[in-house]
Amino acid sequence: MNNQGRATRAETNSASDAPTFTGNKALQIEEALSFEFGDFAGTGVDMPAPIGDVDRLGGLNRNSDIGLPGLSEPETMRHFVRLSQKNYAIDMGPFPLGSCTMKHNPRLNEKVARLPGFADLHPLAPESAVQGALELIDQLAFWLKELTGMPAVAMSPKAGAHGELCGMMAIKAALEARGEDKTRVRVLAPESSHGTNPATAVQCGFKVETIPADATGRVDLAALKEKLGPDVAGIMVTNPNTCGLFERDIRAIADAVHEAGGYFYCDGANFNAIAGKVRPGDLGVDAMHINLHKTFSTPHGGGGPGSGPTVLSDALAPFAPVPYVVQEDGKYSLVESRRAAKDEGDGHESLGRLTAFHGQMGMFVRALAYMLSHGKDGVRQAAEDAVLNANYVLARLKSEMTPAFEGYCMHEALFDDRFLKDTGVETIDFAKAMIDEGYHPMTMYFPLVVHGAMLIEPTESESKRELDQFCDALLSLAKRAKSGDVASFKAAPVYAPRRRLDETAAARKPVLRWTPEEPAKAAE
């Protein structure tokens, strides 16, 4: 049955084109689901039956099989290690995924985060027992405010998108306090914005309107001004934007929105390009999330973990969510509820609670370790090197590939698919061929403002040697595409554990649950 299961999977996924008996390709082991090879009657632990049969479960005993595959410890270890080896990781090679800032995660951060005093904390421990942890949150908050030039920060949001939710809820609360939440219903967002921006605005009950980009890939200021009015709650603008460009008119944008009575939400996911160089507070920002997992280097990918502290202007600070850390006479405590906040005459307009506890403590530790080990000059240099690396990639690739816009970029280089015109090769084929070359593909088809987008963000972590090899590989692929070798691109990847998957079906009809085979079939 096990082998049958494998064969079926191999056929449907074209998984195993390896000419080996096992289906393995050298050290790439074909791995079935634990449900497919586990023994449902077995268990990995061997314990004597309990003595006596006192039933303390009040009749709630399980009356069916638990339905989990029984694996021994070595089987379990191997299963998960093999699965982990199918994963590409920043610890294996460059991860040029634009907009994601996949930089190296210094081991020092990991070491500090694993100190038992941080790692073993319980979120319900009494304040007196966790003074150090509260001080750490407070210190990190201090540096985030310092770096952004903003007066307040909400630490609890657990991702960039969650920080957007926090910021937009603060805007909503501020409008409510002004009695304008029913009339200011529109939020403006540029065409190039990250999908989370309009999604957040809609989640908060706003109507989203798109601002077109101008010919240089930036917000069209005139078009923006035309859309402003007494029904606008605010704008959501990413800076540097998702084309990898600094919004030169950012001050004019902020002023125009403020004049119209709206708020300026800045998506700060790309803060890595400007940290230590530009303070968003000086640009007129009212709220901005910072992706600690991007800019301040904590491991992320595949959807988590994340941490999205959100800085707030004076106008929005009163609406910050609880809990937050306060310090009095060297003693730290948490304001946990709106009522408690009201009693102290502070934060009574808080929008409430966004998460069960205080935020992502492990990521706070890593982010502060990163900041303190880099120092002021180091954070600034990281931003400068990130921009330098992206411009190096842009300069090296532009002989064969087509940059989407003229001029220098910030931390990421955006190409469109004009260089593939009439080759039969599309952006997706190009990306798949990169997998065979041992690279994680760049971000594809985003932002939407250019055709067949390829967004490359090398980050400051890559050495010149690494960048050169990456650029050489891409240049050779571009030349190969232009030479008429469509077939090899359409077949790629040929060396990966899985070839082309039906990505539409995977998105539209994901199979997220293993279901047992029919008993009759299983018994055969």
Ligand X SMILES: *Cc1c(COP(=O)(O)O)cnc(C)c1O
Q: Contact residues for ligand X (CB under 6 A)?
A: 99, 159-161, 194, 196, 238, 242, 267, 269-270, 291, 306, 308
CB of 396 to ligand X, least distance (A): 24
CB of 523 to ligand X, least distance (A): 46
Q: Which residue is nearest to ligand X (CB)?
A: 160
Residue-wise burial string across 466-499, b where 16 or more C-beta atoms lie within 10 A, e elsewhere: ebebbbebbeebbebbeeebeeebeebbeeebeb
CB of 242 to ligand X, least distance (A): 5
**Residues 364, 113: Cα–Cα separation, whole Å:** 9
Distance of CA 492 to the CA centre of its chain: 27
Task: Identify which of residues 267 and 416 has a Cβ nearer to ligand X in the complex.
Answer: 267
CB of 267 to ligand X, least distance (A): 5
Burial (Cβ within 10 Å: 0-12, 13-18, ≥19) of residue 459: buried
CB of 247 to ligand X, least distance (A): 13
Residues linked to residue 235 through DSSP beta bridges, in sequence order: 188, 264
**Residues 102, 96: Cα–Cα separation, whole Å:** 7
Residues 6 or more apart from 81 whose CB is under 8 A from it?
Answer: none
CB of 374 to ligand X, least distance (A): 21
Q: How many CA atoms lie within 13 A of 160 on its CB side?
A: 26
| DSSP tally for the chain: helices H, then strands E | 18, 13
Residues 6 or more apart from 19 whose CB is under 8 A from it?
Answer: none
Task: Identify which of residues 196 and 402 has a Cβ nearer to ligand X in the complex.
Answer: 196
Task: Identify which of residues 148 and 196 has a Cβ nearer to ligand X in the complex.
Answer: 196
**Residues 513, 9: Cα–Cα separation, whole Å:** 15
**Residues 459, 389: Cα–Cα separation, whole Å:** 7
**Residues 446, 453: Cα–Cα separation, whole Å:** 6
Task: Identify which of residues 16 and 389 has a Cβ nearer to ligand X in the complex.
Answer: 389
Question: Quick one: residue 445, left, alpha or beta (phi over 0 = left, psi -120 to 50 = alpha)?
Answer: left
Task: Identify which of residues 242 and 402 has a Cβ nearer to ligand X in the complex.
Answer: 242
CB of 259 to ligand X, least distance (A): 26
CB of 509 to ligand X, least distance (A): 24
**Residues 363, 140: Cα–Cα separation, whole Å:** 11
CB of 185 to ligand X, least distance (A): 23
3-class SS string, 356-388: CCCCCHHHHHHHHHHHHHHHHHHHHHHHHHHHH
Task: Identify which of residues 130 and 140 has a Cβ nearer to ligand X in the complex.
Answer: 140
Task: Identify which of residues 19 and 302 has a Cβ nearer to ligand X in the complex.
Answer: 302
Task: Identify which of residues 69 and 198 has a Cβ nearer to ligand X in the complex.
Answer: 198
E strand or H helix that includes residue 188: strand 186-190
Task: Identify which of residues 270 and 310 has a Cβ nearer to ligand X in the complex.
Answer: 270
CB of 238 to ligand X, least distance (A): 5
**Residues 309, 324: Cα–Cα separation, whole Å:** 12
- Give me the DSSP letters along 296-313: TT----TT------EEE-
Task: Identify which of residues 99 and 423 has a Cβ nearer to ligand X in the complex.
Answer: 99
CB of 308 to ligand X, least distance (A): 6
Residues linked to residue 326 through DSSP beta bridges, in sequence order: 333
Lookup result for tokens 């600070």: 317
CB of 290 to ligand X, least distance (A): 10
From residue 132, give the alpha-carbon distance in Å to each of 46, 115, 202.
42, 12, 39
Task: Identify which of residues 160 and 280 has a Cβ nearer to ligand X in the complex.
Answer: 160
Residues linked to residue 263 through DSSP beta bridges, in sequence order: 234
CA torsion sign for 480, 483, 489, 493 is: negative
Task: Identify which of residues 159 and 211 has a Cβ nearer to ligand X in the complex.
Answer: 159
Q: Which two tokens stand for residue 134?
A: 């509260």
